[in-house]
Amino acid sequence: MTRIAVIGGDGIGPEVVGAGMRVLEAASELDPSVELDFTEFPWSCGYYLEHGRMMPENGLETLEEFDTIYLGAVGWPTVPDHVSLWGLLLPIRRGFDQYVNLRPARLLRGVESPLSEPGALDITVVRENTEGEYSDAGGRMYVGTPYEMAIQESIFTRRGVERVVRYAYELAKERRGILVGATKSNGISITMPFFDEIFREVGSEFPGVEASLMHADALAARIVLRPRDFDVIVGSNLLGDLLSEVTAAVSGSIGIAPSANLDPDRRFPSLFEPIHGSAPDIAGQGVANPSGAIWAASLLLEHAGHTGASQRVLDALEAAIVGGTRTRDLGGVATTDEMTRAVVGELLGSD
């Protein structure tokens, strides 16, 4: 039995995570070995406005009892983004040492890329997920005066960089054997050379992997121009975040893209989510694309050891799109519910 903590979150989050749960339930119905137990939590910006916190003080202790966490999206216009992010998602990532943020992007069958010649686009971004530029270190002085100043420090540790880089090398070894490290050592003179040095050191252990470092700005441009050249990309918290948005966009829509926040050592639960935001402008309209949440559900199944069910879910998603069911961000007219029903229908109709 896989125990899943469900946090719908804000905006379209509850809509897409609800769609993903319907697909997971169908996968369980199709394969009795896939036993899933869902427990839902109302933690969100709405919860914050009522309680002054994004989740209870014992939130992490509660979540630690689960095998996985399934999240919709977090964020609302009346709550500052740094409050919502630092009140829920980042404490989960760091409290459970989910040091790998895995963001696969590929051109699904039936989806058109905005690029004229995308080729065989299949890129996985491995983003460091617990330190780097998203470190809560620094402060402000002389607030409200002409001399006001703000300092934000990046924290890179040898342990943090080495373990995420090693994960990326291992992943590249399993795939096409091509790894690019995203850097900016020409402008960021301390942390990025440190990242580069560790990237090369770890690379000596993987002679079969074709590894190189590329400045992140040039890398972003190259992804747009020749995405077929890339296999696995590893980057710091900020650079990995930015580049994975680029890979999602060139693969057709950010609404499709999933992510997995992993503790590869499996000491704590891992978290699965679509990478899109809460999209308050379309919340409640029933038009959100659930594909990213459904693909995230596929990643959840894979992490739980149900590789066959995971692949069936992704195949069903592709089949639904190929069959003509597309939400409006994909150039179609399908609602969230219609997209979900199409995926469930493909899943239960398959052998």
Taking domain 1-98+264-351, whether its CATH number is 3.40.718.10 is answered by: yes
* CATH fold of the domain at 113-251: Isopropylmalate Dehydrogenase (3.40.718)
Question: Quick one: pLDDT at residue 136?
Answer: 85
3-state secondary structure 304-338: CCCHHHHHHHHHHHHHHHHCCCCEHHHCCCECHHH
- Tracing tokens 């020409």 back to the chain, one arrives at 186
CB 11 within 8 A of CB 71: no
Question: Quick one: pLDDT at residue 120?
Answer: 84
Question: Quick one: pLDDT at residue 351?
Answer: 46
Q: Which residues contact 221 (CB under 8 A, 6 or more apart)?
A: none
Q: What is the pTM of this model?
A: 0.94
**Cβ contacts of 317-320, under 8 Å, gap ≥ 24:** 317/108, 317/291, 317/343, 317/346, 318/108, 318/109, 318/110, 319/109, 319/346, 319/350, 320/345, 320/346
Same CATH topology for 1-98+264-351 and 113-251? yes
Question: Quick one: pLDDT at residue 108?
Answer: 92
Q: How far apart are CA 10 and CA 277, in angstroms?
A: 9
Q: How far apart are the first and last CA of the chain?
A: 23
Question: Quick one: pLDDT at residue 116?
Answer: 83
Q: Which two tokens stand for residue 270?
A: 């891992």
CB 112 within 8 A of CB 250: no
CB 289 within 8 A of CB 325: no
Query: Percent of the chain having pLDDT more than 70?
Result: 99
Secondary structure letter of residue 22 according to DSSP: H
The residue ranges of the chain whose pLDDT is under 70 are: 350-351
CB 103 within 8 A of CB 258: yes
Question: Quick one: pLDDT at residue 350?
Answer: 52
b/e per residue 179-205 (b: at least 16 CB within 10 A): bbbbbbbeebeebbebbbebbeebbee
- List the chain domain ranges: 1-98+264-351, 113-251
Question: Quick one: pLDDT at residue 88?
Answer: 95
